[in-house]
């Protein structure tokens, strides 16, 4: 039987359980037994604290909604806040719910993927208007939202997934890692986008490798070499004639991770089939090309970790685990034409640990 309990801590390390746990003894009467991952949020529609809990009706994922009666120890069941249509899984986990600009955003995990839905909320029922993946890559689940002191909407995702693959890190007691902190925003199409927070600029150290402007044909252009760096690219699609172009990361003669843009379909595909010990596969996302026809990429490499941020807010996250220490090259190549690379930079990164 899954329940909701409360524990408190003064140092964030040692927690003391509430003596009268559980505060919610289980799912509502008549509901299936799956009932997990409570997340508390403030609801300005009626000036109250509420809680979403992941659930199911045995066919579709659900979010159950509760309202605080007297602090964190007493909760009243409001009802089923939202039910899916089966396309995102029969059981939802790790729900998050919060207002963003003029919409409400729902996160949840279903079918091994992290989903978002944006829409409206009247204090008890959520009406979805748009759905999408929180991350287009293979290594993102259980994303958690929070608001900082300045009012920014931030999130961190678990760079792992179910079923847990046999990554090399498992032998050392690790199950993936946390992503860098991302700032959330609403895209022009009503979808959810994310970008790296500006504070990450402070990690830059060492000599920056730069290139461009340059027209790149079918002979690969080496942008730089590093496996712990921030890579930024700006590509002018208006003067690019290539039908597609490919960015190679963690590259050597034996392996590489490939990111390919197809001009006709305006899609990006992350290819990890030749990328070390990580999850092999092809991961695709449609890209909203801006009016000025500039495609920008902001990429973080951290030895085994890859996080790719596209200008429209699309993100790809992957655990790569290269096999060879020499797999550090970063290059770009055009297919059936030239790529107009306006600028590229590779900035070494230091540790985020103080």
Superfamily of domain 202-348: Exo-inulinase; domain 1 (2.60.120.560)
How far apart, in whole angstroms, are the C-alpha atoms of residue 18 and residue 16? 7
* pLDDT category of residue 58 using cuts at 50, 70 and 90: confident
What pLDDT, on the 0 to 100 scale, is given for residue 162? 62
Q: Is the pLDDT of residue 190 over 60?
A: yes
For residue range 247-261, list pLDDT tens digits in order: 999 999 999 999 999
For residue range 6-53, list pLDDT tens digits in order: 999 999 999 999 999 999 999 998 777 889 999 999 999 999 999 999
* pLDDT category of residue 238 using cuts at 50, 70 and 90: very high
Nearest alpha carbon to residue 63 among 105, 40, 112, 96: 96
Residues with Cβ within 8 Å of residue 148, at least 6 apart in sequence: 154
Q: Where in the chain is the domain with CATH 2.60.120.560?
A: 202-348
What pLDDT, on the 0 to 100 scale, is given for residue 163? 60
CATH class of 7-198: mainly beta
Q: What is the mean pLDDT of the chain?
A: 94
Q: Is the pLDDT of residue 342 over 70?
A: yes
For residue range 69-92, list pLDDT tens digits in order: 988 899 999 999 999 998 999 999
Q: Where in the chain is the domain with CATH 2.115.10.20?
A: 7-198
């Amino acid at each position: 039987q899954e329940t909701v309990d409360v524990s408190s801590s003064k140092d964030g390390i040692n927690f003391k359980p509430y003596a009268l746990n559980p505060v919610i003894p289980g799912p509502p009467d008549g509901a299936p037994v799956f009932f997990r991952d409570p997340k508390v949020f403030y609801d300005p529609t009626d000036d109250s604290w509420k809680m979403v809990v992941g659930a199911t009706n045995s066919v579709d994922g659900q979010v159950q909604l509760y309202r605080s009666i007297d602090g964190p120890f007493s909760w009243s069941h409001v009802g089923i806040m939202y039910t899916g249509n089966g396309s995102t899984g029969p059981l939802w986990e790790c729900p998050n719910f919060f207002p963003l600009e003029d919409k409400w955003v729902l996160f949840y995990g279903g079918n091994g993927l992290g989903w978002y839905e944006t829409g409206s909320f009247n204090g008890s029922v959520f009406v979805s208007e748009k759905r999408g993946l929180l991350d287009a890559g293979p290594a993102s689940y259980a994303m958690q939202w929070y608001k900082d002191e300045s009012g920014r909407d931030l999130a961190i995702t678990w760079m792992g997934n179910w079923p847990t693959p046999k990554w090399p890190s498992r032998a050392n007691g690790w199950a993936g890692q946390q992503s860098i902190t991302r700032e959330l925003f609403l895209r022009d199409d009503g979808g959810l986008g994310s970008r790296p927070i500006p504070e990450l600029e402070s990690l830059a150290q060492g000599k920056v490798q730069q290139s461009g402007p340059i027209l790149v044909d079918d002979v690969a252009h080496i942008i730089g070499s590093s496996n712990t760096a921030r890579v930024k690219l700006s590509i002018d699609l208006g003067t690019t004639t290539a039908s597609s172009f490919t960015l190679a990361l963690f590259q050597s003669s034996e392996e590489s991770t490939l990111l390919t843009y197809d001009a006709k379909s305006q899609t990006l595909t992350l290819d990890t089939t030749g990328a070390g010990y990580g999850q092999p596969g092809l991961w695709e996302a449609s890209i909203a090309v801006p009016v000025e026809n500039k495609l920008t990429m902001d990429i973080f490499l951290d030895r085994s970790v890859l996080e790719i941020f596209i200008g429209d807010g699309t993100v790809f996250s992957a655990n790569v685990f290269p096999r060879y220490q020499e797999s550090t090259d970063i290059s770009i190549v055009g297919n059936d034409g030239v790529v107009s690379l306006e600028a590229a930079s590779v900035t070494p990164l230091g540790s985020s640990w103080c």
